[in-house]
Structure 1
C-alpha cells in the first residue's frame, strides 16, 4: 500500500484504465559495455620513394591529396645523366665511323681475294674487326638505354591508390635513391583499440562494437599484451580516411549481467518521481522505482529498473494512461 504522503499520487495513478492482464517483471541478461578510444588506422602506409638521386624539380602533391595508383607525385632530375647520354652518343658516332671504314676494308679485301692478291687470313681479320665494332655500338646503345631508363625513373609514382599523409620534402631539395618523397594511406581504414587486460577474456572475434553513430565488428584480437593492454582491430563500414590516427569513442561488450526491465510505456512520472503499477494484495499499487538505461530488446523499448521492483512482482499494463 502507498504511504500517506504518496496517497494522492497513488490515487491519481490507480485508475480503471489498467485492464490488461498483469505480467511478471521481465528478467534479462544485459550486455556490459566498456568505453574506450580507438584510433583510425590505414591498412597500408606505403612510402613513395625516389628511385634515383637528384634534385626535385616538380612536386605535384601535398598532404591530404587523394591520388591514383601510378600517378606522378614528383619529378627528380640528375643532370649527370644528360651528360652521360651525350658522351655515349659521341662514342657511338665514332664507333659508327669505324664500322663504316671496317666494312669498306672488308669489301675491298673480298675483291682482292678474288684476284688472288690477299690471303684468307687477312679477310678473316677484317671480318673480325667489323664484328668487334658492331658489338661496341650495341654495347653503347645498351648503356644509353640504361641511362634513359634512369632518367625516366626520376618520376616518383604513387605505389597505390590512397590519400597522401606526409610529404617530407620540398621542391628544390636534393634526395638520395630510396628516400621517401611521400607517404600514402592505402587499402582502406580500420579502428585499432587498446583494452585493459582484465577485459581480454571477454573479447571475441566477431563481436558487435558500438561506435559514434555506427556499428563495427571485432575483426582481430592480438595475443600480445603490452603495457597492461590488449590490442584489437575493429572493422567499420565506410570509415573515413580523412583523418588518420584520429581518436574515436568505442563501446566494447565486456560481459553480461542480470537485470529487471519493464516496457518503456509502463513508467509514469509525477512530482519528480517514477512509478510502475504492480499487482498488490488489495489491487493495483503504484511502486516508486529508479529507472536505469533504456534498452531495445526483441524490438521493444524497455527500461532497466535499478530498484523498486523484484522478480516476483507483476506489472499492470497502461502505466502512461
Structure 2
C-alpha cells in the first residue's frame, strides 16, 4: 500500500517538474471575417441547336456528367429530307443533259477531224458540255450543304461538365440557337460578394480559409486553404466580387453556400500555446511562472496558438507542460 502511494505522488508532481516557461507578447494577426461564398462554375456551357426542327431524341437529364462532344439530342427537319430528294431528281436530270452534251461534243469532234464540222459548231458543243458539267457539280454541292445541315441536327456537348438544366423535351419544335441543355464546367470556384469597404484589402493571390461542409462549419481544424483567383474591378450594388480557387469542389452542388474566412486587415492580440490553457469547473485558466492561476477568456484558435481576449498582458510568463 505504501508503494502505491509513492507512485501516485510521483505521477502528480512529474508534470510540474517538466513545465517550461512561455513569455507572452502582443503580436499582429490577420483580422479574419466570416463571409458566405457560393459554389459557381468558372464557365456555363450551353448545348444549342444549330438548325430548326423537331427534337426526336434527347439523351441527357439533370445531373448527368458529359464529356466534350457527347451527344445531347437530335433535331430533325423533315423539309431537309424533301430538299435532298428534290436535288437528287434534279441531279439525275442534269446528269442526263451532261451525257447528251458529251455525245454531241464527241460527234462534233469526229466530224471536225474529217473537215465536215466548223469551228463554231465545235466551240458551241464544248461550251454546252462545260455548262452541263458545272451545273451538275453545283447541284451536288447544294446537296452536300443540305446533308451537312442534316448532320448538324445532332446537338453535341461543347465541353465536359455536369448537366444543370434541360429546358427542352422530345417532340418540341426548336429554332436555330435554342438551348437544349446547360452544363457547368468541371472547374468550380467559390464566389464571394463583399461590402465595398473590404475591396482595398482583397488582392489576387491572398490566402483564405474555407470551413468544412455541414455540421463542421465552425470546426477550425477541418478548414481548408484556398487562394483568391481574381478580384473583379467592378463594384455592383455596393459589393465587390471575388473568386477563390479551392481543390476538390466537384462534389459540391452548384449554388451551394459555405463559410469562408478572409483577412480584412491586422489587429493586435495575445497568443499562447493551446496546451497552456486548461479548463476547470467551466472556467479557463493559465498558470503563471510564480504559480498563480489566472482566469482567461480564450478566443479564436489559430495554427500558432489560442488567442487570449482578456486575463493576460504583454510580458506575462506562462507555464506550459
- Normalised to the residue count of structure 2, the TM-score between the two structures is 0.86
Structure with greater proportional strand content: 1
After superposition, what is the alpha-carbon deviation per residue over 1:91-136, rounded to whole angstroms, capped at 9, x for unaligned? 1111121222222222222333344443221222122111111111
2:56 and 2:15 map into 1 onto residues whose CA distance is 87
Tell me what 1:303 maps to: 306
Q: Contact 2:296/2:309 (CA < 8 Å) preserved in 1?
A: yes
Deviation at 1:139, TM superposition (A): 1.0
Label 1:312 to 1:120 Cα distance change in 2 as closer, same or farther (>3 A). Answer: closer
Tell me what 1:74 maps to: 73
Tell me what 2:218 maps to: none
After superposition, what is the alpha-carbon deviation per residue over 1:280-317, rounded to whole angstroms, capped at 9, x for unaligned? 4xxx22222222232221xxxx3222222221322234
- Normalised to the residue count of structure 1, the TM-score between the two structures is 0.86
1:115 and 1:312 map into 2 onto residues whose CA distance is 125
Give the number of aligned pairs. 299
Deviation at 1:275, TM superposition (A): 2.4
Q: Contact 2:162/2:186 (CA < 8 Å) preserved in 1?
A: no
RMSD: 2.2
Tell me what 1:193 maps to: 192
Q: Which moved more, 1:105-114 or 1:129-138?
A: 105-114
Deviation at 1:279, TM superposition (A): 3.7
Unaligned runs of 5+ in 2: 1-11, 213-223
| Counterpart selection for 1:247 from 241, 248, 257 | 257
Unaligned runs of 5+ in 1: 1-12
Label 1:161 to 1:275 Cα distance change in 2 as closer, same or farther (>3 A). Answer: closer
| Counterpart selection for 1:277 from 279, 284, 287 | 287
Label 1:51 to 1:117 Cα distance change in 2 as closer, same or farther (>3 A). Answer: same
Q: Contact 2:54/2:172 (CA < 8 Å) preserved in 1?
A: yes
Tell me what 2:239 maps to: 229
Q: Contact 1:42/1:241 (CA < 8 Å) preserved in 2?
A: no
2:14 and 2:99 map into 1 onto residues whose CA distance is 120
Q: Contact 2:39/2:190 (CA < 8 Å) preserved in 1?
A: yes
Q: Contact 2:25/2:315 (CA < 8 Å) preserved in 1?
A: no
